[in-house]
Homo-oligomer: A and B are copies of this chain.
Amino acid sequence: MDRFEANVQDNQERFLAELQEFCRKPSIIAQDIGIDETAEWVSDRLRNVGFESRVISVDGGAPVVYGEMGSGDKTLMIYNHYDVQPPEPLDLWDSGPFDAEIRDGRVWARGVSDNKGPWMARVQAIEAYQQEIGDLPFRIKWIVEGEEEIGSPNLGRFVEENRDLLDGADACLWEGGRRDGAGRPVISLGMKGIAYLGLSVSGASSDLHSMNAPIVGNPAWRLIWALASLKDENENITVDGLMDHVVKPTADELEYIRGIPFDEEQNKQDFGISSFLKGATGPDIVKQLLFDPTCTICGFLTGYTGPGLKTVLPNQASAKVDFRLVPDLNPELVLRLVREHLDRRGFTDVNVELLAQLWPYRSQVDHPWVQASISVARDIFGAEPVVYPSSAGGGPMYQLCGTFGIPGISGGGVGNPNSNLHAPNENIFVEDYMRSILYTGHLIQAIGNL
């Protein structure tokens, strides 16, 4: 790979200039700015490097760019997104969010880390690989969507409608990736799902004077009792049957957990808490964070909540409850279990609605392509990778990876601990960007050799 590395080195200036060009194109899905133009630009660039590429329109959503190239008995799926978060608040940026200035060894731009840098680095790596090493040793199916920053609402439907096109991949190189503060490359292999429920109860036809409380039912109490039946005071989810669906971590996954650095004191200080939930310490904290499903009251509103007092018997109560899901839970299953659980206890008056959903997914950590990605990361970053069998957050990994039963591998990206994703002054180090190009080239070779 010496010629590959030399090529990347020689082209650093051009590669960075092209990254700047890409970052200067606003593509803000939440504000419907620049989506179609950026999708065309992405498709053109993929075609330029040899992909058979096209912009696939999605009914009522942002178009998806799909590119395919290569041949052989192995197929790598790649997932990126070309949309970015809104840049606001603008006054907190030291240089314009779409100026893509390079200073102090970094590129500063909205989306440079999430997710334009990682995509561009992959494109340039493939270009250099072909120039110096030859044809790709396997087929690539590349999906670049434009709605990730608003929760990928149409990705599942896109996959369903293009199943034939996407089927047959061995693994999916996911978006994202970063190195941590100690320079260790971070690889994530899963994401939690979400069942975001709206619960509500109605009472009398209007709010009443609270002197009527001895004879008229109170929806606030009904909802409190219903909620209290979902989770107990020991922080255990008590929805009938729910925990039976939770898959236990494997020995490999637990091994990786022990390798994840977690500064207990720093985190306590950051959160402003004196202890972690369930009294967890050491590796158990990370285990809980990544492997435990949750049932979280995100909001609850009833009656009068202003200053002072109002003696009112409310006639409405509502709550928002966020279940974070791990395999093999899924949103429809959780909705059904909660409904049945409440009905069984007489809470038929509690209305339950599924407001948002995301399926969980966890990759097979012993899969050879996963192991190859870890090994390449170790070489390129010169440090032992930190492997997250799952992230604590959610994402649309299930739609692509779960649907086809293949591992989703997020790693080798351009981020650093202060990349300011979704915040002002998003940035990456030039050094990390170049490293990401190298990582991709070496990963292509490693997978080809499997």
Interface residue A394 (Cβ < 8 Å from any Cβ of B): yes
Interface residue A340 (Cβ < 8 Å from any Cβ of B): no
- Report the nearest B residue to A225, measured CB to CB: B233
> Once the chains are docked, how many angstroms separate the CA of A324 from the CA of B305?
19
- Given A214-B292, A220-B297, the answer on whether A304 and B320 have CB atoms closer than 8 Å is yes
Interface segment, one of A63-71, A136-144, A168-176, A306-314: A306-314
> Once the chains are docked, how many angstroms separate the CA of A204 from the CA of B394?
22
* Interface size range on A against B: 35 or more
Interface residue A371 (Cβ < 8 Å from any Cβ of B): no
State whether A271 touches B205 (Cβ < 8 A).
Answer: yes
Would you give the 0/1 interface string for A207-225, flagging 1 where the beta carbon is closer than 8 Å to chain B? 0111111111110110011
Interface residue A285 (Cβ < 8 Å from any Cβ of B): yes
> Once the chains are docked, how many angstroms separate the CA of A215 from the CA of B308?
34
> Once the chains are docked, how many angstroms separate the CA of A346 from the CA of B228?
16
Q: List 27 A-B contacts (CB under 8 A).
A: A194-B311, A212-B271, A213-B322, A214-B277, A214-B288, A215-B276, A215-B280, A216-B271, A217-B277, A220-B297, A224-B224, A224-B297, A233-B346, A272-B315, A296-B311, A297-B302, A297-B317, A298-B310, A298-B312, A299-B302, A299-B310, A299-B312, A300-B317, A303-B320, A308-B355, A309-B322, A309-B355
State whether A228 touches B231 (Cβ < 8 A).
Answer: no
Interface residue A251 (Cβ < 8 Å from any Cβ of B): no
Interface residue A273 (Cβ < 8 Å from any Cβ of B): yes
- Report the nearest B residue to A151, measured CB to CB: B309
> Once the chains are docked, how many angstroms separate the CA of A206 from the CA of B273?
10
> Once the chains are docked, how many angstroms separate the CA of A192 from the CA of B304?
21
Interface residue A294 (Cβ < 8 Å from any Cβ of B): yes
- Report the nearest B residue to A285, measured CB to CB: B215
> Once the chains are docked, how many angstroms separate the CA of A198 from the CA of B289?
33
State whether A211 touches B300 (Cβ < 8 A).
Answer: no
Would you give the 0/1 interface string for A370-408, flagging 1 where the beta carbon is closer than 8 Å to chain B? 000000000000000000000111100000000000000
**Copies of this protein chain in the complex:** 2
> Once the chains are docked, how many angstroms separate the CA of A104 from the CA of B244?
73
The interface of chain A, by Cβ under 8 A from chain B, is: 192, 194, 196, 203-206, 208-218, 220-221, 224-225, 227-228, 231-233, 235, 271-273, 276-277, 280, 285, 288-290, 292, 294, 296-305, 308-315, 317-318, 320, 322, 324, 345-346, 355-356, 391-394
Q: What 8 new A-B contacts, CB under 8 Å, besides A211-B392, A300-B317?
A: A211-B394, A213-B294, A216-B273, A224-B224, A228-B228, A233-B345, A300-B301, A308-B355
State whether A196 touches B311 (Cβ < 8 A).
Answer: yes
> Once the chains are docked, how many angstroms separate the CA of A393 from the CA of B320?
34
Q: Return A252 CB to nearest CB of chain B, in Å.
A: 21
Q: Return A127 CB to nearest CB of chain B, in Å.
A: 36
> Once the chains are docked, how many angstroms separate the CA of A190 from the CA of B310?
22
SS of A interface (majority): mixed
> Once the chains are docked, how many angstroms separate the CA of A196 from the CA of B210?
11
State whether A213 touches B324 (Cβ < 8 A).
Answer: yes
State whether B303 touches A300 (Cβ < 8 A).
Answer: yes
Q: Return A299 CB to nearest CB of chain B, in Å.
A: 4
Question: Which B residues lie within 8 Å of A391 (CB)?
Answer: 211
- Report the nearest B residue to A219, measured CB to CB: B297
- Given A297-B224, A309-B196, the answer on whether A289 and B214 have CB atoms closer than 8 Å is yes
> Once the chains are docked, how many angstroms separate the CA of A8 from the CA of B229?
66
> Once the chains are docked, how many angstroms separate the CA of A208 from the CA of B322?
13
> Once the chains are docked, how many angstroms separate the CA of A315 from the CA of B299?
11
- Report the nearest B residue to A217, measured CB to CB: B277
State whether B231 touches A221 (Cβ < 8 A).
Answer: yes
Of B277, B300, B310, which is within 8 A of A302 by CB? B300
